Structure 1
Amino acid sequence: MSNTSLVSVLHRLKQVTATGSDSALAGVLGVSPQTLSSWKVRDSIPYAFCIDAAERHAVSLDWLLLGLGSPARTPVTTTEPSATELLELLQGLSPADLQTIRLQVVDKLRLQELERRLDELSAAVPSA
C-alpha cells in the first residue's frame, strides 16, 4: 500500500484527530459517514478538507498527504531572513532553480525602479 493512498491519508487523519473509526473521523471532519464512504469508493478526498485538517491540527501537508517527513508543521517565521540564511538556502538549489530565482529578482528590482520613477513623476505633476 502506498503512503499516498486514500487509506493512508485517512489513517494519518485518524492519528491527528485521535479517532479510531471512520464514523468518529467523519464527525471530526464535519461530514457524514456516507460522505467518507464515498471518498473511499472514489479513492479521493477533497483537498480542502486536508488543508483544513492540517491547519486545525498543526500538521504538515507533506506528511498528511504523502507520508513524508514529520507530522509537525515547520513554523512560519515572521522575522526577515538574513543574507547569510538566504545564501545557505540558495546553495541547496539546482542551477536551473537558481536561474529562475535570479530572473524573478531582476524583475522585482526592475519593478521597484519603475515604481520609484512613477512616484517621482507623480510628485512633479501638479494636482488638479
Structure 2
Amino acid sequence: MDKKSAAAVLDRLHTVFGVKNDSQLCEVTGVNRPTMGNWRSRNSVPYPLCVSVAEEKGVSLDWLITGEGVMDRSHRTNEDDALLDDPLERSILTLCRSLDEEAKRDIQSVAQEKKRLSDIEKQLTKLMLALADIKRPA
C-alpha cells in the first residue's frame, strides 16, 4: 500500500486514536460512515481532518499525511532519552518502526491487553492482601 494513499492515512488515524476499524474512527472523529467510505473508495485524503487531528493530538502532520518522520511532534523528554539508552526498548522500537501500520496496530493491541492484565493482577493482589487482613484474628 502506498504510504500516501487515503487508506494509509486513515490507517495512521486509526493509530492516533487507538481504534481498530473505520466504524470506531467515525465515532471518535464525528465523521459519518459513508463519507469515510468515500475517502477510501476515491482515494481522497481528508486533509481538513488531518490538520485538526494533528493540532488536537500533537501528531506530526507530515507523518499523518505522508507516513514519513516521527508520529509525535512534541519535543523529546528525559523519559524518551532513557528509552534510547535501554537496549531492549531501543531494539523493540527499531523492530516496530520497520513494520507496516496494521502490524503496528496489532502490537499496540497486544501491549494494551498485556498492560490491562497486569493492572488487574496488581488490583487482585491488593484485594487478596486486604481480605487476608480482614480474616486475621484480632
Which TM-score tier does this pair reach, normalised by the shorter chain? 0.5 to 0.7
Instruction: State the secondary structure of the residue aligned to 1:20.
Output: coil
Could you say which residue in structure 1 is the equivalent of 2:26? 26
Q: TM-score, normalised by structure 2?
A: 0.51
The alpha carbon displacement at 1:46 in A equals 2.8
Which digits, 9 at most, give the CA deviation of each residue in 1:49-76, with x for residues without a partner? 110111111100110000011001145x
Q: Is the 8 A contact 2:6 2:46 kept in 1?
A: no
Q: Partner of 1:44 in structure 2? A: 44
Is 2:65 aligned against 1:65? yes
* Aligned residues between the structures: 75
Structure 1: which 4+ aligned runs deviate by more than 3 Å?
none
RMSD of aligned C-alpha atoms? 1.2
Residues 71-114 of structure 1: CA deviation (Å, up to 9, x unaligned): 01145xxxxxxxxxxxxxxxxxxxxxxxxxxxxxxxxxxxxxxx
Distance 1:64 1:44 in 2: 14
Take 1:45 and 1:60, find their aligned partners in 2: how far apart are those partners?
16
| Closer, same or farther: CA 34–25 of 1 in aligned 2, 3 Å | same
Q: Distance in 2 between matches of 1:35 and 1:10?
A: 12
Letter in 2 for 1:46: P
Structure 2 distance, partners of 1:3, 1:68, is: 8
Q: Which runs of 5+ in 1 are unaligned?
A: 76-128
What's the CA shift for 1:45? Answer: 2.8
Q: Compare the two structures and name the one with the higher helix fraction.
A: 2
- Matched residues in 2 for 1:17 and 1:28: separation? 8
Q: Once the two structures are aligned, what percentage of the paired residues are identical? A: 41
Calculate the TM-score normalised by the size of structure 1: 0.55
Larger Rg: 1
Q: Equivalents in 2 of 1:45, 1:26: separation in Å?
A: 15
d(CA) in 2 for partners of 1:66 and 1:45? 10
